[in-house]
A = this chain, B = another copy of it.
Amino acid sequence: MSRIKSIEPAIKADEPPRAGEKILRVARDLFYRQGIRAIGVDEIVRRAGVTKPSLYRSFPSKDELAASYLRRYDLEFWDRFDEAVAAHPGDPRAQIGAFLTRIGKRTQKPDYRGCGMTNAAVEYPEHGHPARVVSEANKRELRRRLRAMAAAMGAGDADTLGDGLLLLIEGAYISGQLFGAGGPAKSVARNADLLIEASLKK
């Protein structure tokens, strides 16, 4: 098992959002921007225009709400990833390039807050925490894909190159939120390409 599946049922587009959905949308916004530990359930229900019992009818605990937030984040993440892949069929190097170029641009926005998965893992170092479990699964899958793409490029040591790309990506997430605009993350695509070039020459 690797890819995370959504637990929530599909939402009909025309129906008004149910309480659980409203909560999840607000939680996603607040958790991502300010951190999970920094946001209390009271603020979530207040901004969602619902009440606390509604939250606990849809989610067994705040930790599980955080995990649900990350499961949705996971879906959106792979949508973006697959978009970059689909833009350059059969050309993994260009796929990586497209994905990293977009990351590099996003990191230059003023309120960039990095990767929700990465941040959650930092906030919850304890093994087995519901949020951390989702985060770890996402990162394992990302590593697997990057290594596979490195192999498809014909790299001599594909695992090392895949891991190197992952290091650059995580570095971009973090330094993006640390330095803001003008930070090191803006050169992530360029550095990745240099690393790929060096790895293919072997």
Interface with B: A42-50, A59-67, A89-97, A121-129, which one?
A121-129
Is A163's CB within 8 Å of the partner chain B? yes
Q: Is the CB of A194 within 8 A of B185?
A: no
A: number of interface residues (CB 8 Å): 50
List the B residue with the shortest CB-CB distance to A114: B122
Nearest CB of chain B from residue A112's CB, rounded to whole Å: 10
Interface set, chain A 50-101, CB cutoff 8 A to B: none
Smallest CB-CB separation from A138: which chain B residue? B178
Check if B38 sits within 8 Å of A177, measured CB to CB: no
B-side contacts of A121, CB under 8 Å:
174, 177-178
User: Could you tell me the distance between the alpha carbons of A137 and B99 in the complex, rounded to whole angstroms?
Assistant: 30
Q: Is B171 a contact of A135 with CB atoms below 8 Å?
A: no
Whether the Cβ atoms of A184 and B166 lie closer than 8 Å is yes
